[in-house]
Amino acid sequence: MGDFGQMTFESMPHLLTALVLSPLLGILILAFIPSSMGQWLKRTAIIASLLPILIAGYVYANFNHNAGVMQFVEKFEWTSISWTNFYGSQPIPNELHLQYALGVDGISLPLVFLTALVAAMAMFASVLIKKRWKLYFILMLILEIGMLGVFTAQSLTLFFVFFELTLIPMFFLIGIWGLMHREKAANQFLIFNGLGSAILFFGIIWIITTAGFTVTGNTMDISADQPVAHFTDFIPTIADNLNNTDTIANATEWLKPYGLDTTYLLSNSTKWTLFILLLVAFGIKLPMFPFHTWMLRVHSEAPASVVMIHSGILLKMGAYGLLRIGLSFFPEQAQESATWLAILGVVNLLYGAFCAFAQDELRSLLAYSSISHMGIILLGFAANNTIGYSGAVFQMISHGLISALFFMLVGSLYERTGTTSLSDLGGMSKSLPFISAMMLVAGLASLGLPGLSGFVSELMAFIGLFENHPTLTYIAVLGIILTAAYVLRGVMNITYGKLAISTKMADAQLVEAFPMVVLTAFIILIGVYPSVLSGPLDQSLHEWAHWLNHTQAGG
């Protein structure tokens, strides 16, 4: 199989560990600041959140665009256990290797940077938080560790650990600082995502005991070279095992005398089961159509700064996991189910758009809009070609930036008006010109105006999809028209429309305006100069597509 498993080792060996654990520094400092010193807590948290941006920026700048492989790799055996197991009556040494492995390629790198950026911007937005700052900021930084870890982890257990690590702070953040029905929202978040995690856990252990299982040594003549059975959770090795016919043949051959034949290996139906399990597990996070109810509640109950992270990054963890684990482990299944993926994508896109059109509540509108936009990611995956995948990754980044900007604005708006109901808001451009202008930018980016990031991603996803599923593409484009309609309805109502609140309000303070400007800058940057993103992405996707084609041809 080729280049996928190869990795380059850099001169700075622990850069990614430093990146993932960098929020820990802020946590330690915050722990020693008395909880009454609100201003200091806020300042420290904001400064602490800049550190990951610096490291992520350094990684981005030093990333080799021409090598599509994992870079900045760190790998050591975190848990290594050996024991003797009996296969039949033959004692065979078994070894379990759990890796601590981090690495970034062109797909995860942009997401790592997005995480650092949106998390820092959310810290700025958190100045509007009214109570218990110390705990709040510590939890936000723990959340950041989890998110950075998910996008850099290269072993299944580590990935799962970080994936779960985001669950715990989110429960607190929704349940303590949310609106009226916060506890209910926190519970629903916990149970739905817990279910997703459980399914993921099921899949991961299943994969480790099957695809992670290899045999070394001489399988023909045991006396010559004692065979050893290995279990690993290292993602590249598993991807390799899954698609390397030699490994499978070797293990099958070896297991035959023990009457175990294919039990340890993945039959076709097992592969399908695993693929569907992973699709559901990550689909809950994404969220995919029937599993989306929990995220509506989170969007409408959690504080705006938390939703920035939730909508901006946490949803992308689902998409990223599906890409990194689901699609790359089971490319054949992905290809065969491409039509279904595309249909799911279109359903998400249209359902989200129709529902968004009917909302009278800005937060709910944006929540449905997120569902709709996540549909485009699924469409990109379903396209099953480089440009489609590229569009999906672009969409992850673009939607991350846009929804972070939107919820930043929602927070500022709610702070001033005390409502996010569309019918109570109107004519804001008069009293809040800056916020209104930003709202307009976010809206235009969301509906895919050329020159802004949303356009690039949607265009690529649709071009990719058109190659394979032209009919579905036509239907999906209908969703784009709907998007324009609901976004304009919402945004225009708030910015122009009838003046609803006549009291004088102060426009955005510097601390609010700064993140809005930064996010807008990135939205425009990607819109007019997409190669800032496609630079690292292209080569990785190229390698990846090459690898997928190779395995499909070979396996």
Partner 1 sequence: MITNLVSWEAVRMMLPELLVVLAITLGIIFDFTMSGLVRAVAIRSVSLAAVIGATLITLGYMLPIQGFIDFIGMSNSPLPLQVGLMDGAFVVWPLSLIGKLIILIAVGLIILVGRERAEFYYLLLSATLGAMFLVSTFDLVTLFVGLELLSITSYIMVALKRQSGSATEAALKYIVMGGISSALILYGMSFIYGMSGSLNILQIPAGIQMAGADAVQPLLYLSFLLIIAGIGFKIASAPFHVWAPDVYQGSNTPTTAFLAVVSKAAGFLLLFPLLFNIYYQQEGVPSDTFHLILKVIAGLAMLIGNIMAIRQSDVKRLLAYSGIANTGYLLLPLTFRITDVHLVEFFYYLIAYVIMNLGVFAVIMHLQLNNKQQDESNASAALSTFAGLYHRAPATAIATVVLILSLAGLPLTGGFMGKWFILFGVFQEHSYTLAAILLGTTVLSFYYYFGIIRQMFMRSGSDTDLISKRFTMQLGTWSCVAATIVLGIFPSPVFEWILKIINPQ
Residue type, 355: C
Count of CB atoms situated within 10 Å of the CB of 529: 12
Nearer to partner 1, 142 or 356 (CB): 142
Under DSSP, the state recorded for 35 is T
Nearer to partner 1, 210 or 493 (CB): 210
Least separation in angstroms between CB 537 and partner 1: 30
First-to-last CA distance in the chain? Answer: 11
The alpha carbon torsion through 238, 244, 246, 248 (nearest 10 deg) reads: 50
CA distances from 424 to 7, 303, 417, 498, 517 (A): 55, 19, 9, 10, 26
Nearer to partner 1, 145 or 402 (CB): 145
Nearer to partner 1, 58 or 231 (CB): 231
CA distances from 215 to 82, 219, 250, 255, 349 (A): 14, 8, 7, 9, 45
Nearer to partner 1, 201 or 514 (CB): 201
Is residue 525 packed enough to be buried (19+ CB in 10 Å), middle (13-18) or exposed (0-12)? middle
Least separation in angstroms between CB 89 and partner 1: 12
Least separation in angstroms between CB 131 and partner 1: 12
Is residue 159 packed enough to be buried (19+ CB in 10 Å), middle (13-18) or exposed (0-12)? buried
DSSP characters over 194-233: HHHHHHHHHHHHHHHHHTTEEEES-SS-TTTS--EEEEE-
Least separation in angstroms between CB 183 and partner 1: 6
Q: Is 261 helix (H, G, I), strand (E, B) or coil?
A: coil
Q: What residues have CB less than 8 Å from 293, skipping those under 6 apart?
A: 188, 192
Least separation in angstroms between CB 218 and partner 1: 23
Least separation in angstroms between CB 337 and partner 1: 22
**Which residues of the chain form contacts with partner 1 (CB under 8 A)?**
79-81, 83-86, 94, 96, 135, 157, 160-161, 164-165, 167-168, 171-172, 175-176, 182-183, 186-187, 190-191, 194-195, 197-199, 201-202, 205-206, 208-209, 231, 263
Helices 453-468 & 433-446 angle (0-180, nearest 10): 10
Cα–Cα distance for residue pair 426/438, rounded to 1 Å: 15
Of 421, 433, 441, 464, nearest to 525 by C-alpha is: 441
Q: Is 509 helix (H, G, I), strand (E, B) or coil?
A: coil
Nearer to partner 1, 113 or 189 (CB): 189
State the sign of the Cα–Cα–Cα–Cα dihedral 255, 256, 261, 263. negative
Count of CB atoms situated within 10 Å of the CB of 111: 24
Least separation in angstroms between CB 209 and partner 1: 4
Least separation in angstroms between CB 38 and partner 1: 17
Nearer to partner 1, 206 or 434 (CB): 206
Cα–Cα distance for residue pair 252/259, rounded to 1 Å: 10
Nearer to partner 1, 44 or 157 (CB): 157
Least separation in angstroms between CB 262 and partner 1: 11
Nearer to partner 1, 270 or 552 (CB): 270
Least separation in angstroms between CB 196 and partner 1: 9
Of 454, 450, 444, nearest to 394 by C-alpha is: 454
Question: What is the H or E stretch that residue 104 is in?
Answer: strand 90-104
Nearer to partner 1, 211 or 428 (CB): 211
Least separation in angstroms between CB 132 and partner 1: 9
- For residues 547 and 3, the answer to whether their CB atoms sit within 8 Å is yes
Nearer to partner 1, 145 or 356 (CB): 145
Least separation in angstroms between CB 458 and partner 1: 35
Nearer to partner 1, 85 or 245 (CB): 85
